[in-house]
Structures are given as structure tokens and as C-alpha cells.
Amino acid sequence: MSHEIDMSGESKHIEINLAKIKKEGVVYEVNIDPDMAMEFKSGKAIDIRDIVKSPLIFNDAQKGLRAAENLLVKHFGTSDGYKVAEIIIKEGEVQLSTNFRRELREKKKRQIIALIHRSSINPQNNLPHPEARIESAMEEARVKIDEFKKAEDQIQVILKDLMKILPIRYEVRTIEVIIDAKFAPQSYHILKNFGTIADQTWLNDGSLMAKVKIPAGMQSDFFDKLNNLTHGTVKTRIIENR
């Protein structure tokens, strides 16, 4: 975090996002765009010029202390700021501002709520809980969100916390569908978008029979989409709950 003096003479805090690394006791820092830096660190191909705010390498960015060129060459093999920045981001630590971490956590929370809504049901009525109710239960259970962990990898732990508040069950259903020949080609994107096609057979009359695994909470939307496409002629049957 750095400071800036406004016209009134008061010090203001300006949050910055940094990537940093330590080489033989010397700290090197570069100012970054946090979204792009995280994607770049995870392996996505992004131009380094779009990631860093400038090619300046610092020993202390908050104080504006620039790194010496001879030490950059010694520790990174080059004094080119962009090349050094690549190494720092890939091999070092990406430090995020408090505001950015808060935004990241809120985004991950919304992903988790949507995933729970799609993938679980209220066993009392076999319907998905509304997203607002899931969010309320998460707050009541004081669920902790890890902004760096995938939403899918946090679901099971979060569901255990929610079970103390809500009647809830994570369930995947296998549904058999039979779609008339004239609608079968157009139905493919619906089947794939809602779940995993476990099996498919083309019947003698050209109809498609498929078994699709979908999250239980998506069943109603799945049926609505197929009925709209086929004008209500689709045949469906739940053959497995897991």
C-alpha cells in the first residue's frame, strides 16, 4: 500500500497490487494488473506489457526504491524490466490489495451459490433452494470462502456447513430422453450444456435416445428447454439418483 498527499495536505492510502520475489535476500517487486497476473501465473498466454503497469522493477515499490541494473542482471540474467517481470510473476508471489481480494472473494461466492443452486435440492420437495436462501444460509453458517480455490473444490465442505441450517442434498440424476427425429439434431446442444451424455442410441425411426447426467437442481430448466424445442413431444424418465 502506498501513500499520496492530497491538496488538503492529508495522506491518502492508495492500494496497489504487486508481484514480488526474493533473490539472495534482495526483494524485487513490480506493479501489476491482478486479474491478468493471476491468469498469466496459471499458464494463460498474455502479453507481459498488458500485465504490468510499467517495466520498472523496485526493491520497495511503496517507497519508490528502484532496483539496481547490475543486481537485476546478477539475479535474473537481464535488466529488461519486462523479462524480469515475467520471472517475478511466474516464480514469485502475487500480492493482492485488500479491495481486490474482497472483489475476488465475492465473485467466488456468487459462483459457489450458483453451483449449489444447480447441483443440490431440498429433499422435502425435491426442488432447488433459491439462490437468496442459499446465500442467507451461508451467512448464518459463517461459511468461509477461499478466493483462490476452485468453487467446485469447496462445495462439499460448504454443504456440510449448510446442512446445519438447510435441508439440502447434493444429487446428480441420470435422465433418459427420447427425442423425435426432426428435433434430435437441435437437441444436442441442450443435452451437452446441461450435463454429460452418458449414452446415446439412434432408433430405427431416427429418434434419439440418450441418457444424460445432470445436477438435480437443473432438472426443471432441462425439461423446459426440451419441451420448448420439441413442442412437448419429448419423453423423459429419471433412471438414477446419486
Distances (CA, A) of 240 to 7, 29, 197, 227: 68, 54, 14, 21
The whole-number pLDDT of residue 73 equals: 97
The whole-number pLDDT of residue 119 equals: 83
What element of type H or E holds 176?
strand 172-179
**Looking at the domain that runs over 98-169, which CATH code has it been given?**
1.10.10.900
Q: Grid cell 504490468 — which residue?
A: 52
Nearest in space to 102 (alpha carbons), one of 44, 13, 15, 3: 15
208 Cα distance to chain centroid: 34
Name the β-bridge partners of 47: none
Tell me the H-state helices in the chain. 34-41, 48-51, 69-76, 81-91, 98-119, 131-140, 151-162, 184-194, 219-230
The whole-number pLDDT of residue 177 equals: 97
pLDDT tens by residue, the chain, 242 residues = 443 334 344 444 456 889 999 999 999 999 999 889 988 987 889 999 999 989 999 999 989 999 999 999 999 999 999 999 999 999 999 888 788 888 889 999 999 999 899 888 898 998 889 999 999 999 999 999 988 788 888 988 999 999 999 999 888 889 999 999 999 999 989 999 888 999 999 999 999 999 999 888 888 889 999 999 999 999 999 998 77
List the chain domain ranges.
Answer: 17-95, 98-169, 172-241
The whole-number pLDDT of residue 15 equals: 65
Same fold, 17-95 and 98-169: no
CA triplet 5, 7, 11: central angle to 5 degrees?
Answer: 25
Q: Which fold has domain 172-241?
A: Alpha-Beta Plaits (3.30.70)
pTM (two decimals): 0.60
Nearest in space to 143 (alpha carbons), one of 156, 130, 162: 162
**Looking at the domain that runs over 17-95, which CATH code has it been given?**
3.30.1250.10
